[in-house]
Structure 1
Amino acid sequence: MRLLVLGGTDFAGRAVAEEARDRGWDVTVFHRGEHPAPPGVTVLRGDRTAPGGLEALGRGEWDAVVDTWKSAPRVVRDSARLLSGRAGRYAFVSSRSVYTWPVPAGLGEDGPLVDGDPDAEATDYAADKRGAELAVEREFGDGRSLLVRAGLLLGPRENVGRLPWWLERTARGGPLLAPGPRDTPLQYVDARDMARWILDALESGLSGPYNMVGPPGHTTIGELLDACVAATGGRARLVWVGPETLAEAGVSGWEDLPIWCPPGGELHDAVHRADVSRALATGLRCRPVTETVADTWAAMRATGGH
């Protein structure tokens, strides 16, 4: 397979490029040069937002494209339009944020969507991702477009800072406030597992939207934090505090305490209770949380993230 990754040097895009390379695919990454490209891939340089920035993509053919863009939909439109006659399929890593709020527990791919404009400049994250989806479908058609609606993404090189926040805190040791209950279920996907699914899906010709996150309850907040403590040397002592006590103290889930949301609430339903039966039925497999945590910590130490 000849694969073009638009980006391909940081977190999710890099996971795709490295997985494809390790499969023996012919991988090209197109990027601005802000991060080093993975070894063993062909590198094209350009700035998708600048006039003439796609010049390096003016020639060449690929079996598939993977795009992780998260801002102005018109950037995806321009790339997809340029490549539509020279690439077989286009996979766009979107987001479950494209569903209209509130997102109820168990929502599948047929849920109501926010408005989006494929020709728009950047507005807000949800509308931008939805507009980009529409751009891909317009240029490649339904049968050649794969829309990967990612949920919470974790794993090595995470560039948002959610799992690294907990790892850095547990590494300092001492008493650590742990938001309970311990058995609060979490739903996320390791970027490397998402990458494997995307490549398998491109090979098998899947199209349309897929919620991309692990099964509900793949792990719990207790298992996640235990793994963080173990990976960082076991110096932290978890002190469990219930959601009511946290709320009374003005401590919120997600923003103040990354990854965790109070169970039973609107945010927890939206983030940690998605229907992912389509992805699971088409081969999504998720590694243990202990592996995701340990590998993230190892990557942080190797790159000076701690």
Structure 2
Amino acid sequence: MTEEQAKELLQKYLDQQASPQEQKKVEEWYATLHVKDVVVPADRKAAIGAQMFAQLQLAMRDDSKTGKVFKLQSFIRIAAAVFLILTIGISVWKLNTKVPSENQVTVFNRSKQQKRITLSDGSVVLLGPSAKLCYPKTFASNSRQIELKEGEAFFDIAHQEKRPFTVHTSAGVNIKVLGTSFKVKSYQASKQLEVAVITGKVAVSNLKGALGTLVKDEFLTCNKNNGCAAISKIKAPAFIGFAFDGASLDQVIAKLQYVYSIKILLSDSGLGKLKTTASFSSKQSPEEILDIICSLHHLKFNASKNHKTFNIYR
């Protein structure tokens, strides 16, 4: 049974539409949760507890609005189903991110300054004070997955199209990127989780589904109790620097495309081999950077009307 099928069955159980056989299966699942061999980390239990409490509050409010009495049986049914849904989600998450324990590194920043961490793929994490991060010494061949267990961190992710990068949080919110820079703030004591994109694009989701896709200078806040999210513009945009030391024009273009969420085309594929050594800031516009790069190589460029597509030519 897939995760989606399990959730559908649990929803039927919640709606009291499950057959006797299906009810029995759900109750058997619930019973297995109390087996000693089933271990859920403390931070995961806290996240489960918070989400269960929020769901139960909503259920009680719904019952009170319709004039129904919230009976103990209903409470047990909802608690069991919510707990099972969350547990299945966690089990799937663990299965998808499973790596040998000896490959895991956990860093807790006890200083009052940011701690710089360079990951095996070249990505950089600036871990804030009192923040806790768990990551593998070496990433898997087809994915890159880490967990921000507590606090605030800035991520500058190396672009690898075939190995997407995902940041998991203890609040059950995940941020998936290909190559970009962004900031995540997730304190267990806070009701809100925040994601701010400095360059590129990220997709944010939780156990219920997608919360939104953010691009440069956009900011998402998510209420950890009810899962509601809102996206807005960053009032005071942050900037990052990026440098090229003998990089090919193809590599430069790949970086610029993800930093600015644009498309850059070459009139001649041979131009992609040209070498570039220069430093830039995301504060600069794409046109300004392309103007400098083209001047270095005696090239020209033009832009589409919406300034989202650029063509470089001789």
Per the normalisation by structure 1, the TM-score is 0.29
Higher relative contact order, chain-length normalized (CA < 8 Å, sep 6+): 1
Structure 2 length as normaliser, TM-score?
A: 0.28
Q: Which has the higher strand share?
A: 2
- Tell me which structure has the larger Cα radius of gyration: 2
Specify which structure has the higher proportion of helix.
1
